Amino acid sequence: MESKEVLAFALKAISDRHGEDTAAYDMQGYSILADYYVVTSASSNRQLHAIANAIVDEAHQADYSDYRIEGSSESNWLLIDLGDVVVNVFTNEAREFYNVEKLWGDGKRLALKED
């Protein structure tokens, strides 16, 4: 599956579960680890896990099984590694604290359609 297709189903899942302030970065040519990095916020720990579960559900619907999730049920940050697409889901406070987007400053921020 192409990385753009993986990005599309991840963004759909985030949108379906009302992820907030979602940003996606095209890191092709800048990172050897992934083509795209995505970050989104959740207003609660419960929503954070709902977003991650929705991404996994979309992966299964797309018959895509190359993923791993880092974090626990108590985490305020979950990382979903989809191979060439890495998704970070944070609570609002954790996103502000870790500020991982500064790591992707060389990448191109993608324009995402607003719901």
Does 34 reside within a domain? yes
Is residue 79 helix, strand or coil?
strand
- pLDDT at 88 > cutoff 60: yes
The percent helix, strand, coil of the chain (3-state, each to 5) is 35, 25, 35
Q: How many CB atoms are closer than 10 A to CB 11?
A: 23
Please report whether residue 52 resides in a domain: yes
Is residue 92 included in any domain, yes or no?
Answer: yes
Confidence of residue 114 (pLDDT cuts 50, 70, 90): low
CATH number of the domain that 51 lies in?
3.30.460.10
pLDDT for position 113:
78
Residue 20 maps to a domain: yes
Spatial contact of 21 and 41, defined as CB atoms under 8 Å apart: yes
Structural domains of the chain, count? 1
pLDDT (tens digit, 9 = 90+) per residue, 10-57?
Answer: 999 999 999 999 999 999 999 899 999 999 999 999 999 999 999 999
Token readout for 100 is 């991982």
Whether this prediction's pTM lies above 0.85 is answered by yes
Inside any domain, residue 17: yes
What is the domain range of residue 66? 3-109
In a domain, 94, yes or no: yes
